[in-house]
């Protein structure tokens, strides 16, 4: 690879300035290199896809496992990599900040911090603490790599009924605390997405491409970047699971009909 981490971060920040770009989510080095060959301008890791690839459930990987994974992705491609850094692998703001610095040292061009609390009486961190965590991440980023992108995620739509007022209140507070890009996974209705875009403007919004949606349609709503989360990983696992079940039960492998040949795949990595 020829680009420095600083050059990748500068290029990544420029992608957020205007228009709409697609940010696919590989879970390994091969996927990262394939996506680069297809002409994508940036990549994002996927916590779910990586966890499944090492035989764990989503949110069950350790900080150090993720750091090693991010380093391998960044070393494998000249494209900027945005890290799915879950909740920062800590509760206290100062610990989130320390972990953000470790993530930046892997070479990532940006990272996301969630407001979901994996332990405790509530599925989300208290509003005030959630904002403090984003502010701490911002301070750490400014000290280590100020050109990197900080994405703040509100997970409310994934842990309960969609409360758009709560989501917007959190995202606007995260923006004021220093987040460069805002993200509320789980929103799918155009009116919800448009409301979020308007509320945090001019800061960019990330949306996951779901069934029935299109990149062009999301761009028309003002979305600046479109990711797929664990979508590509799920597609790969779907093919693998179906083929493996057929092999186990029927002793056949009809799913190979129409499959990409090994020679073509080898050619991608020469």
Give mean pLDDT, residues 10-27.
Answer: 98
What counts of helices (H) and strands (E) characterise the chain? 12, 8
Q: What is the pLDDT of residue 119?
A: 85
Q: What is the pLDDT of residue 2?
A: 84
In the chain the domains, ranked by start, together with CATH numbers, are: 5-229 (3.20.20.60), 230-270 (no CATH)
Q: What is the pLDDT of residues 217-246, one digit of tens each?
A: 999 999 999 999 999 999 999 999 999 999
Q: What is the pLDDT of residue 211?
A: 86
57/73 Cα distance (integer angstroms) = 20
184/194 Cα distance (integer angstroms) = 12
Q: What is the pLDDT of residues 105-117, one digit of tens each?
A: 999 999 999 999 9
Instruction: Give me the percent of the chain exceeding a pLDDT of 70.
Output: 100
Contacts of 181 (CB under 8 A, 6+ apart): 16, 110, 149, 150, 151, 152, 203, 204, 205, 206, 224, 225
Q: What is the pLDDT of residue 121?
A: 87
Q: What is the pLDDT of residues 58-91, one digit of tens each?
A: 999 999 999 999 999 999 999 999 999 999 999 9
Q: What is the pLDDT of residues 190-216, one digit of tens each?
A: 999 999 999 999 999 999 999 899 999
Contacts of 240 (CB under 8 A, 6+ apart): none
CA dihedral 12, 16, 19, 25 (to 10 degrees): 60
Does pLDDT of 270 surpass 90? no
Greatest C-alpha distance within the chain: 58
Work out the pLDDT band at 1, boundaries 50, 70, 90. Answer: low
69/9 Cα distance (integer angstroms) = 18
Residue 92: in which H helix or E strand, if any? none
Give mean pLDDT, residues 6-32.
Answer: 98
Neighbours of 101 (CB within 10 A): 14
- Cβ distance 78 to 3 under 8 Å? yes
Residue 114: in which H helix or E strand, if any? strand 110-114
Identify the burial level of 169 via C-beta atoms within 10 angstroms of its C-beta, where 0-12 means exposed, 13-18 middle and 19 or more buried: middle
- Cβ distance 128 to 108 under 8 Å? no
């Amino acid at each position: 690879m020829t680009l420095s981490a600083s050059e990748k971060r500068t290029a990544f920040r420029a992608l957020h300035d205007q228009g709409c770009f697609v940010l696919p989510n590989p879970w390994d080095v091969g996927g990262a290199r394939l996506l680069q060959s297809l002409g994508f301008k940036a990549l994002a890791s996927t916590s779910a896809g990586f966890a499944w690839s090492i035989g764990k459930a989503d949110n069950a990987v350790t900080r150090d496992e993720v750091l090693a994974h991010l380093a391998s992705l960044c070393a494998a491609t000249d494209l900027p990599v945005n890290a799915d850094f879950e909740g920062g692998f800590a509760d206290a703001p100062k610990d989130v900040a320390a972990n953000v610095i470790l993530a930046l040292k892997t070479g990532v061009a940006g990272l996301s911090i969630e407001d979901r609390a994996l332990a405790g009486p509530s599925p989300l961190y208290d509003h005030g603490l959630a904002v403090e965590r984003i502010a701490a991440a911002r301070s750490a980023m400014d000290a280590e790599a100020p050109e990197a992108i900080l994405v703040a995620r509100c997970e409310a739509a994934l842990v309960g009924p969609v409360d758009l007022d709560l989501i917007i209140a959190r995202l606007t507070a995260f923006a004021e605390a220093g987040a460069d890009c805002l993200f509320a996974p789980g929103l799918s209705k155009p009116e919800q997405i448009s409301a979020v875009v308007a509320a945090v403007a001019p800061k960019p919004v990330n949306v996951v491409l779901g069934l029935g949606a299109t990149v062009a349609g999301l761009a028309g709503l003002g979305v600046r970047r479109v990711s797929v989360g664990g979508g590509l990983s799920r597609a790969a696992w779907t093919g693998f699971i179906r083929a493996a079940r057929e092999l186990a039960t029927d002793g056949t492998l009809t799913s190979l009909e129409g499959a990409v040949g090994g020679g073509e795949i080898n050619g991608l990595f020469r």
